[in-house]
Structure 1
Amino acid sequence: MDALNQAIAQISDVLWNSVLLFLLVGTGVYFSVRTRFVQVRKFKTAWNRVFGGFSLKGKKAGKDGMTSFQALATAIAAQVGTGNIAGCATALVSGGPGAIFWMWLAAFFGMATIYGEAYLAQISKRRDESGEVIGGPVYYITHAFKGTFGKALAGFFAVAVILALGFMGNMVQSNSISDAFYTAFSVPKWVMGVIVAVLAAFIFIGGISRIASFTEKVVPVMAALYLVGALVVILINIQHVPSAIASIFICAFRPDAVFGAAAGITVRKAMRYGVARGLFSNEAGMGSTPHAHAIADVENPEDQGEVAMIGVFIDTFVVLTMTALVILSSGVLEEMMSTGVKGTPVAQAAFRTGLKGFGPAFVAICLLFFAFSTIVGWYFFARQNVQYLFGKKAVVPFSLIVVVFVFLGSLLKVDLVWNLSDLFNGLMVIPNLMALIVLAGTVAKAAKGEKVEF
């Protein structure tokens, strides 16, 4: 078992830290050029589109799908997760402050990629046997690649999503919750497991309507709560903020200027950890969030493409950046780098500098919101693919199995499960990017305002 775990970890490491970095960033650059930098040209329009009609209580989602904001909230629910806290902390410890610069760069290009994903998901969506709107990358993959090959590629993608997000990924999220609450409040892990599983079951059983209602209310509240807490810590450590910001840019190109050569941080490491953790956090190009954007009930498909860009912006340029500034201004980074501590404990130590004894508890509470909302979002994405492969009759059994996995994940941190989650997360990216590149011309036309027949 140890040999299998090590082999999977090595494959995953190669996949994420070399192959996918070039593919994901390369696709982002390609889409930026093809769309004439849609993320810049249409940013103001996209921002106004999202927040112009902002509401915590939109219309009830039904057979025609969700509102545009509900779809965005569901996407952000999946995007803003443990990666914004634990992932950011790990990138800083492993890659230094310069990692944040490379996160920003990857997210900038990723905004063009996610525009394409959301647009293609919109124009390829369809209705199931009951008349309910359904969509996701499987449908534009089968359009990009006709015949048996297209169906096989879409099937591979669907299986990878179900395993990576629905099962193993949600075990990882529930484990993060139980760990954080055990550390902060000494709550037994099985107790948190029961609470999270029951809450998940309640939302899952309510279907798309309850998922949309949950995300549109919880996502803005959880983001506001975290940003207020982070802002308090940043203001307390305000004298260190200018040097923290400067270190991000200096260490992106000259890490030794801040930490010295002895720290072992290189430009390559800053790029590797920044880009990898950034893409894993905002999910641009991964093929996950298009499941939510596909069922947005909008007048023009390109409108949802613009809305999707704001999801990446909020995830990386707002939430993740606030975490980085908290850690960098707190002064805990060098100690954590010397001791090798990574993940959530780094963020908890940073928040402790401003919020004192409440710091670790605050991070645990935010992690509950972040990780649980990710469970809901990832369940929904996997559910769409279960329905694609097996029909609507398989949704209820699948939901019950996911609830069991959520409970088990809270009790156990099995390295094999974590590594398998990373591996299948990587594997699902490949067919999605293949289809995106083939259909880039269609996206380019939409970005220019041309009407496209699909």
Structure 2
Amino acid sequence: MIDKVLGTINDFMYTYLLIFLLAGAGVYFTVRTRFVQLRRIGDVPAILKEKSQNEQGEKSVSSFQALMISTASRVGTGNIAGIATALAAGGPGAVFWMWLMAVIGGASAFVESTLAQIYKVKDGSSFRGGPSYYIEQALHSRKWGVVFSLTLIACFAYGFNGLQAYNISSALPYYIQNYSNTVWPAVVGGILAGLTALVIFGGVHRIGFITSVIVPVMALGYIAIGFYMALKNFSQLPSVFMMILKNAFNVDAIAGGFAGSAVVLGIKRGLFSNEAGMGSAPNASASAQVSHPAKQGLVQVLSVFIDTLVICSTTAVILLVSGVQGGKGVLDGIPFVQAAFQTGMGEWGIHFITVAIFFFAFSSLIGNYYYAESNIRFIRNSKIVVNIFRFTCLGAIFLGAQADFSTVWNLADILMGCMAMINIVAIVFLSDTAVKTLEDYEHQRMQGKDPVFHSKDVGIEHTDCWK
């Protein structure tokens, strides 16, 4: 009964609301910023090389570390299990809609992360910020800031982290017979909760260090395997891309059930994977020490592109060239990916994907937790409250490892949708501020300067860190 209700809400939100809101906002920001996600992407390598320190000369979170925290959350099992789920239910055409939403969504990612930098606040030697902060300071509504924080906390600390734990757990039935009826799901949940506790009680700098090491290594390893499988099946690649394009515009399939079509599933799984416009990555963006807010906005565009155009595409190619047929309720999620790897690489392929799933999901657990803690502190910055919250997060991870497939996906989708709707409305209202900040950045670049931001020069008020 619960699963049926969640499924109905999920289908309604994405079919009638979020598709138009996400796509419309992405196009609007793309036009207003004159395709900033493509024009200025070349600036990012130099930005990432910049070293960061606070006013006292102490090291703070760098632009690169903030990128890795956000990418750790984006690059998770959604890039593997999420793509498998979309292909199993919506067909190959879903991949095209993921690509399109990543390109369009890059502009949304720029706007939300630039705003997070503008309206960030000082927290000791670190910074905090995100949608709740720019809703309160720029739109003068603490009430809606708190509402957004509550939806993000529910989504990331409980929905997404429960889902990440489930995805790790779902990779183990291959090794353990009758897995779900044994004690092993609880053991896996306990191990994951314990490992997460070791990191989250260490603070943001430890989170930044862990993610800046794990994310690049695991992503490059996974891409290398995908590249190998693509070369091994090189002759199939033209037909694979033709299949993606053909199915993306399959009018009969869309008319037969729009809620389960490639369009809806591609956008839904794309949003889950790259989070552009959702309001999550700005929490990481705000933590970085940069000389101009637009710099971190551009860095987050790169994160979206890495997530979807590189890593999600890697998973899609692996699944499609394998010849394994996935199907909703038949061969779905992680088992679908394991079967594809076994076909392409033999027995050790299954072991590789199991290890990859663990590292992808674990880095996401850490990145997701960071977002949630930042919003807990927005509501009430109390050490006691934060510590109690940490234990509830560990409980969600423990229970998630023992959850049901459709329930965890539906719950995560609904919570993600609630977040996205609040954030998109906010950043549309604040788009003038983001555009003025971009113009200031580009004006200084044209003068040959390394852009430095002063809020009064742009006519922006209520900024704690840029006066």
- Per the normalisation by structure 1, the TM-score is 0.90
Shift of 1:43: 1.3
- Select the structure that is richer in helix: 1
Q: Match for residue 97 of structure 2?
A: 102
Change beyond 3 A, Cα 1:49–1:104:
same
Range with greater deviation from structure 2 (416-425 or 84-93): 416-425
Q: How does 1:181-192 map to 2 (within 5 A)?
A: 181-184=172-175, 188-192=184-188
Shift of 1:109: 0.7
Equivalent position to 2:339, from 349, 357, 370: 349
Change beyond 3 A, Cα 1:410–1:338:
closer
Q: Is the 8 A contact 1:154 1:431 kept in 2?
A: no
Q: Match for residue 154 of structure 1?
A: 145
Q: Match for residue 212 of structure 1?
A: 208
Q: Is the 8 A contact 1:176 1:371 kept in 2?
A: yes
Q: Match for residue 267 of structure 2?
A: 275
Q: Is the 8 A contact 1:200 1:376 kept in 2?
A: yes
Give the RMSD, CA atoms, in angstroms: 2.6
Task: Name the % identity.
Answer: 40
Q: Is the 8 A contact 2:223 2:314 kept in 1?
A: yes
Distance 1:337 1:414 in 2: 14
Shift of 1:179: 1.8
Range with greater deviation from structure 2 (214-223 or 401-410): 401-410
Distance 1:24 1:185 in 2: 41
Corresponding residue pairs, total: 437
Shift of 1:420: 3.0
Q: How does 1:147-296 map to 2 (within 5 A)?
A: 150-184=141-175, 188-254=184-250, 269-296=261-288
1:20 match: secondary structure: helix
Q: Is the 8 A contact 1:78 1:375 kept in 2?
A: yes
Q: Match for residue 447 of structure 2?
A: none
Change beyond 3 A, Cα 1:240–1:387:
same
Q: How does 1:344-423 map to 2 (within 5 A)?
A: 344-393=334-383, 394-413=385-404, 416=407, 418-423=409-414
Shift of 1:347: 1.5
Shift of 1:319: 0.1
Shift of 1:169: 2.0
Change beyond 3 A, Cα 1:114–1:278:
same
Q: Match for residue 8 of structure 2?
A: 10
1:336 match: secondary structure: coil
Distance 1:200 1:14 in 2: 34
Change beyond 3 A, Cα 1:445–1:263:
closer
1:36 match: secondary structure: coil
Equivalent position to 2:35, from 17, 34, 37: 37
Q: Match for residue 21 of structure 1?
A: 19
1:133 match: secondary structure: strand
Change beyond 3 A, Cα 1:263–1:422:
closer
Structure 2's unaligned 5+ residue stretches are: 442-456, 462-467
Change beyond 3 A, Cα 1:282–1:414:
closer
Deviations 1:205-263 (A, max 9, x none): 1011110010000000010111112122222222211211222222222478xxxx799
Range with greater deviation from structure 2 (116-125 or 245-254): 245-254
Shift of 1:131: 5.5
Write the letter of the residue equivalent to 1:11: I
Distance 1:421 1:265 in 2: 22
Equivalent position to 1:431, from 406, 409, 422: 422
Shift of 1:189: 2.3
Deviations 1:299-339 (A, max 9, x none): 1111001101000000000000011111111112xx32498
Shift of 1:443: 1.2
Q: Match for residue 302 of structure 1?
A: 294
Deviations 1:384-434 (A, max 9, x none): 011111213222221122122212222333755543332222111122111
Q: Is the 8 A contact 1:234 1:241 kept in 2?
A: yes
Deviations 1:107-146 (A, max 9, x none): 1011000001110000100124x46421111011113422
Equivalent position to 1:323, from 315, 319, 328: 315
Distance 1:326 1:10 in 2: 31
Shift of 1:287: 0.5
2:22 match: secondary structure: helix
1:412 match: secondary structure: coil
Q: Match for residue 450 of structure 2?
A: none
Range with greater deviation from structure 2 (304-313 or 339-348): 339-348
Structure 1's unaligned 5+ residue stretches are: none
Q: Match for residue 115 of structure 1?
A: 110
Change beyond 3 A, Cα 1:320–1:250:
same
Change beyond 3 A, Cα 1:84–1:211:
same
Distance 2:238 2:438 in 1: 38
1:127 match: secondary structure: strand
Change beyond 3 A, Cα 1:88–1:426:
same
Deviations 1:125-183 (A, max 9, x none): 0124x46421111011113422xxx1111111111111111123211111111221343
Q: Is the 8 A contact 2:14 2:264 kept in 1?
A: no
Shift of 1:192: 2.1
1:448 match: secondary structure: helix
2:278 match: secondary structure: coil
**2:139 counterpart of 1:141:** no
Write the letter of the residue equivalent to 1:197: A
Write the letter of the residue equivalent to 1:103: M
Q: Match for residue 71 of structure 1?
A: 66
Q: How does 1:83-94 map to 2 (within 5 A)?
A: 83-94=78-89
- Per the normalisation by structure 2, the TM-score is 0.87
Distance 2:44 2:422 in 1: 28
Distance 1:174 1:272 in 2: 25
Write the letter of the residue equivalent to 1:20: L
Change beyond 3 A, Cα 1:181–1:174:
same
Write the letter of the residue equivalent to 1:80: V
